[in-house]
Amino acid sequence: MVWGPTSWQHWNASSARVSEPGQPSRLTVLAGPTAVGKGTVAADIRKHHPEVWISVSATTRRPRPGEIHGRHYWFVSETEFDELIARGDLLEWALVHRSARYGTPRRPVEEALAAGRPALLEIDLQGARQVRASMPDALFVFLAPPSWEELERRLVGRGTESEEERARRLETAFEELEAGNEFDVTIVNTEVHAAGQELVSWITGARIPRI
């Protein structure tokens, strides 16, 4: 894969509608423990709310069945990820679950915000903390499971990780749940579409977090 202007030009050309230039926009950051359903909620928003721009992360992990390069993630090699870091092309990045690196390409985020689009980052806790340090005015939303038992059920049920990987992710998830109070808003993901609709209400400013 060649990671350069051509990739971003293709992504920008295939983006959904852009609101009028000059309108104020803000970045919303969605994070939460593994298997809580961040990607599923983001996919529901992408389906029902094309006005919301959603960042596509780069990752060094292998694609899962059904995942599409450039739509779900930009799947890159370790060398390509190193090059993205060296060029300063990532807004944030982290080693997740001690297995693979994930990062947010900087340029598409900056272009979406400059165009006045409501923008969403769906990232892990480490990445959210990095974004808070560089963009403290963003809205930070924590996606929580209805219960610990339900989180375990979802992780086991999706069947995409080995037993060793599941144990590692559950250990990380327990620590991640403790970070909920770092966020401006908490949404409990009891039902995907309802959680997505609630998140959109925060993204578009229909709801304002209490200070």
The amino acid occupying position 204 is T
How far apart (Å, rounded) are the C-alpha atoms in residues 51 and 204? 10
How far apart (Å, rounded) are the C-alpha atoms in residues 135 and 28? 10
Strand order across the 58-59 sheet: 74-75, 58-59, 100-105, 90-96
CB 200 within 8 A of CB 148: no
Beta bridge partners of 183: none
Give whole-number Cα distances, 3 to 50, 87, 138, in Å.
Answer: 25, 12, 27
pLDDT tens, position by position, for the chain (211 residues)? Answer: 333 333 333 333 233 333 344 444 789 999 999 889 999 999 999 999 999 999 999 999 999 889 999 988 999 999 999 999 999 999 999 998 778 999 999 999 999 999 999 999 999 899 999 999 999 999 999 999 999 999 888 877 766 667 777 777 788 888 889 899 999 999 999 999 999 999 999 998 866 555 4
How far apart (Å, rounded) are the C-alpha atoms in residues 62 and 60? 7
How far apart (Å, rounded) are the C-alpha atoms in residues 199 and 193? 10
What's this model's pTM, rounded to 2 decimal places? 0.79
Residues 6+ positions from 59 with CB-CB distance below 8 Å: 73, 74, 75, 76, 100, 101, 102, 103
Range list of β-strands (E), 19-68: 27-31, 53-54, 58-59
How far apart (Å, rounded) are the C-alpha atoms in residues 166 and 97? 10
Nearest to 40 by CA among 70, 66, 9, 5: 66
Domains present along the chain, CATH in parentheses = 17-203 (3.40.50.300)
Residue 184 pLDDT = 96
